[in-house]
């Protein structure tokens, strides 16, 4: 159990049997009446946001999320096969569980799977990945006064905007949180 007075950003609690992460919190002591804690909570499973007010000192169950390191092996249709790096157990993840991260998955990449109560609820991939450019238009120097960018298709199928000097076969670093080009590797 955790007291509402101990809320901090990132703390996970259970509300109505669902795991929520504290996104924002504010302790309020009005002139009249008792103190309370105003919070903004994000559902870890669905991503939905909930605003809830708790009495100061109210006890809530802490949500225990398990984070396991796994290795992405391959995809089979809508299923993505991963292997636990400790037990070597293989299991399938769905595209819905991985979300937009799918477009940056590369075979043998290490990712992390979140579970709550034995059920998988989400996955995290590294913030930065290095991928090869497999298709892009040739950039002609002098086309623009300020630099410019062009679309490039990566080995995983993702398309990102890259500077004109990037060519086919180049290895580039991509920020997976925003899907943007960072630099040549």
For the stretch 55-75, pLDDT in tens is 989 999 998 888 889 999 998
* Number of alpha carbons in the 13 Å side-chain half-sphere of residue 71: 10
Specify whether the CB–CB gap between 112 and 123 falls below 8 A. Answer: yes
Confidence of residue 145 (pLDDT cuts 50, 70, 90): low
Burial class (CB in 10 A: 0-12, 13-18, 19+), 150: middle
- Which residue blocks in the chain are alpha helix, DSSP H? 95-98
Same domain? For 41 and 82 the reply is: no
Specify whether the CB–CB gap between 122 and 66 falls below 8 A. Answer: no
**Beta-carbon neighbour count of residue 88 at 10 Å?**
8
Find the CATH number of the domain harbouring 34.
Answer: 2.30.30.30
Residue finishing a domain among 79, 103, 124: 124
Specify whether the CB–CB gap between 37 and 28 falls below 8 A. Answer: yes
Same domain? For 102 and 146 the reply is: no
pLDDT of residue 94: 86
Same domain? For 40 and 72 the reply is: no
Residue finishing a domain among 76, 107, 124: 124
In the predicted structure, residue 32 carries a pLDDT above the cut 80? yes
Same domain? For 111 and 81 the reply is: yes
- As a whole number, the mean pLDDT across the chain is 87
Same domain? For 141 and 110 the reply is: no
Domain count of the fold of the chain: 3
The predicted model gives 10-23 an average pLDDT of 87
Rg (alpha carbons) of the chain, rounded to whole number: 22
Same domain? For 102 and 139 the reply is: no
Burial class (CB in 10 A: 0-12, 13-18, 19+), 184: middle
DSSP secondary structure string, 82-117?
EEETTT--EEEEEHHHHGGGGGG--TT-EEEEEEET
- 27 forms beta bridges with 37
Same domain? For 146 and 175 the reply is: yes
pLDDT of residue 141: 62
Confidence of residue 114 (pLDDT cuts 50, 70, 90): confident
Find the CATH number of the domain harbouring 136.
Answer: 2.40.50.140
Host domain of residue 45:
2-60
pLDDT of residue 175: 92
pLDDT of residue 66: 86
Residue finishing a domain among 74, 108, 124: 124
Is the full-model pTM beyond 0.85?
A: no
Confidence of residue 146 (pLDDT cuts 50, 70, 90): low
The predicted model gives 128-135 an average pLDDT of 93
């Amino acid at each position: 159990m955790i007291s509402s007075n101990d809320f901090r950003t990132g703390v996970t609690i259970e509300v109505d049997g669902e795991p929520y992460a504290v996104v924002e919190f504010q302790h309020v002591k009005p002139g009249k009446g008792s103190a309370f804690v105003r919070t903004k909570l994000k559902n870890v499973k669905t991503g939905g946001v909930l605003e809830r007010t708790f009495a100061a000192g109210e006890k809530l169950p802490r949500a225990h999320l398990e984070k396991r390191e796994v290795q992405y092996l391959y995809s089979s249709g809508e299923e993505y096969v991963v292997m636990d790096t400790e037990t070597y157990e293989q299991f399938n993840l769905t595209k819905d569980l991985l979300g937009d991260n799918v477009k940056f998955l590369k075979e043998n990449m290490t990712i992390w799977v979140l579970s709550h109560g034995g059920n998988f609820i989400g996955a995290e991939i590294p913030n930065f990945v290095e991928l090869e450019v497999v298709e892009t238009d040739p950039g002609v120097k002098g086309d623009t006064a300020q630099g410019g960018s062009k679309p490039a298709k990566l080995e995983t199928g993702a398309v990102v905007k890259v500077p004109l000097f990037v060519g086919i076969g180049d290895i580039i670093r991509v920020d997976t949180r925003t899907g943007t080009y960072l630099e040549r590797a």
